[in-house]
Amino acid sequence: MKIVLLERVEHLGAIGDVVTVRDGYARNFLLPQNKALRATEANLKRFEQQRADIEARNAEGRAKAQADGERLEGAAFVLIRQAGESGQLYGSVAARDIADAAVAAGHTVSRGQVVLDSPIKTLGIHAVRVRLHPEVVVTVSANVARSADEAERQAKGEDVVAAAAEAERALVAEQAAEIAAIAAEQSAA
């Protein structure tokens, strides 16, 4: 289906571009969200008449998004979740969780603006993209930890899962040495 874009759409085009997309993508996403119009003669004429207004609204929205983006860029949100010893979460962190953390910190971010390729399922600091406007994308950090203390250690750069594994290996080595010493004493006696 041929459509004319009313706003910039990632991987598709900019305002005013006439592109061909699959019918379902146009009918189910682009048209209902007012991101595009069918590329008929009447719609193209209507678009050209309203082009200045559409571009002005886009510029206004982009300016507001850039102002919000400057405050949001580089923000770090701590998300406390339960996880196993290997750092694997018992659940996952989704876009909704990150948006809720941003709202709790005083930012205006909706779930649809958070771009996650897949849910976060491990402990650590994860970079997350937030699309405030089709032309304004910022990156925030999601610090996923089991406790506030662990989140602070992760923020300082410590790999808490590796540190726990190293402590476990040291404990096992110490216990093995004790067992070997006791066995040596018993065999000598």
77-124 pLDDT per residue, tens: 999 999 988 889 999 999 999 999 999 999 989 999 999 989 999 999
Is the per-residue pLDDT at 69 higher than 80?
yes
Burial (Cβ within 10 Å: 0-12, 13-18, ≥19) of residue 148: exposed
Of the listed ranges 38-42, 126-130, 151-155, the one predicted with least confidence = 151-155
What pLDDT does residue 189 have? 67
What pLDDT does residue 163 have? 72
In the chain, residues under CATH classification 3.10.430.100 are: 73-168
Strands across the sheet with 124-133, in order?
76-80, 136-145, 124-133, 114-115
- Given a contact cutoff of 8 angstroms between Cβ atoms, the answer to whether 137 and 129 are in contact is yes
Looking at the DSSP assignment, which residues form a beta bridge with residue 20? 2
Q: What's the CA gap between 27 and 14, in Å, rounded?
A: 19
In the chain, residues under CATH classification 3.40.5.10 are: 2-71
What pLDDT does residue 160 have? 73
What pLDDT does residue 132 have? 92
Q: Please provide residue 125's backbone torsions phi and psi, each rounded to the nearest 5 degrees.
A: -100, 125
Query: 73-168 maps to which CATH number?
Result: 3.10.430.100
Taking the alpha carbons at both ends of the chain, their separation in whole angstroms is 89
Q: Where residue 35 falls among pLDDT bands split at 50, 70, 90?
A: very high
What pLDDT does residue 60 have? 93
Mean pLDDT over 4-30 rounds to 92
Q: What's the CA gap between 62 and 123, in Å, rounded?
A: 34
Query: 2-71 maps to which CATH number?
Result: 3.40.5.10
